[in-house]
């Protein structure tokens, strides 16, 4: 009798698997000490908790058959990637177009303060699911153009390979929303140090996982990530 088994997912020929790793927790925002800016984007360093999360990520992925490591031009992604870089001996590649959503007048840590105070503009941003409600912030179309171009470049360079890309929460949310055709903010809120998993095909992006944080369970960081 012929049987038809269920099989695990396998990467289609020519496709690129990308692990989207959100950077570890960065230092707290302080009104008297705004984050330094790089090309207009806030550029805080990792906090002590964030450094612990980076170590956990490195341990989680050290045995994965990763062929390349990508980071953005913001230091919290490179700092998060460094434990894995040490394990694998790969030189991280900077892909600036995967940097965080530009927040206009709310850069430098101000978004956190506005969120804490539930500012009316913050409420409007959440309701309309648009970053550019913030004065000077990036529009959906501008964000989508640069992020998809960056992912396409990575996929072109790495067919039939697995890549780790250390990125930002807004980028993880945008990529998964784009891939699934969901609401713009449906996947916002990925935890610091979490891993999401996509597969780049010529005509679409397949989502294989979102916000995997099993490697962070039992860590000191747990209390700060709930």
Please write the tens of the pLDDT for every residue from 57-79: 999 999 999 999 999 999 999 99
The counts of H helices and E strands in the chain are: 6, 8
pLDDT for 190-224, tens place per residue?
999 999 999 999 999 999 999 999 999 876 655 44
Task: Give the pLDDT band of residue 80 (cuts 50, 70, 90).
Answer: very high
Quote the mean pLDDT of the chain. Answer: 95
Coil, strand or helix at 30: strand
What pLDDT score does 210 carry?
98
The CA-CA-CA angle for residues 164, 168, 174, to 5°, reads 95
Residues in the chain: 226
pTM: 0.94
Contact 183, 177 (CB under 8 A): yes
Copy the structure tokens of residue 129: 């699911």
* Residue 127 region by backbone torsions, left for phi larger than 0, else alpha for psi between -120 and 50, else beta: alpha
Q: Alpha helices, DSSP H only, in the chain?
A: 48-61, 75-88, 110-116, 120-128, 140-157, 169-180
- DSSP 8-state code for residue 74: S
What pLDDT score does 222 carry?
56
Is the CATH number 3.40.50.2300 carried by domain 16-102+138-224? Answer: no
Please report, for the chain, the start and end positions of each structural domain, with discontinuous segments joined by +: 16-102+138-224
Whether the per-residue pLDDT at 85 is higher than 70: the answer is yes
Give the residues across from 206 on adjacent strands. Answer: 199
What percent of the chain lies above the pLDDT cut of 90? 95
pLDDT for 120-132, tens place per residue?
999 999 999 999 9
Contact 85, 116 (CB under 8 A): no
Start-to-end CA distance of the chain, whole Å, equals 51
């Amino acid at each position: 009798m012929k049987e038809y088994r269920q099989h695990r997912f396998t990467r289609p020929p020519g496709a690129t698997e990308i692990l989207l790793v959100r950077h570890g927790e960065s230092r707290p925002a302080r009104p008297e000490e705004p984050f330094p800016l790089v090309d207009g984007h806030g550029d805080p360093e990792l906090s002590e908790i964030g450094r612990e999360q980076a170590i956990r990520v490195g341990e989680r992925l050290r045995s994965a058959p990763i062929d390349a490591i990508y980071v953005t031009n913001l230091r919290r992604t490179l700092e998060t990637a460094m434990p894995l870089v040490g394990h694998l001996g790969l030189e991280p590649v900077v892909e600036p177009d995967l940097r965080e959503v530009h927040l206009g007048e709310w850069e430098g840590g101000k978004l956190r303060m506005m969120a804490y105070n539930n500012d009316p503009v913050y409420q409007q941003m959440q309701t309309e699911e648009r970053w550019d409600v913030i004065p000077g912030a990036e529009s959906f179309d501008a964000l989508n153009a640069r992020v998809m171009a960056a992912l396409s470049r990575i996929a072109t360079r790495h067919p039939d390979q697995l890549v780790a890309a250390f990125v930002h929460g807004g980028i993880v949310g945008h990529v998964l929303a784009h891939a699934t055709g969901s609401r713009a903010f449906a996947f916002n809120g990925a935890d610091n140090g979490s891993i999401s998993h996509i597969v780049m095909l010529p005509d679409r992006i397949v989502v294989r996982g979102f916000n995997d944080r099993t490697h962070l369970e039992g860590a000191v960081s747990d209390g700060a990530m709930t």
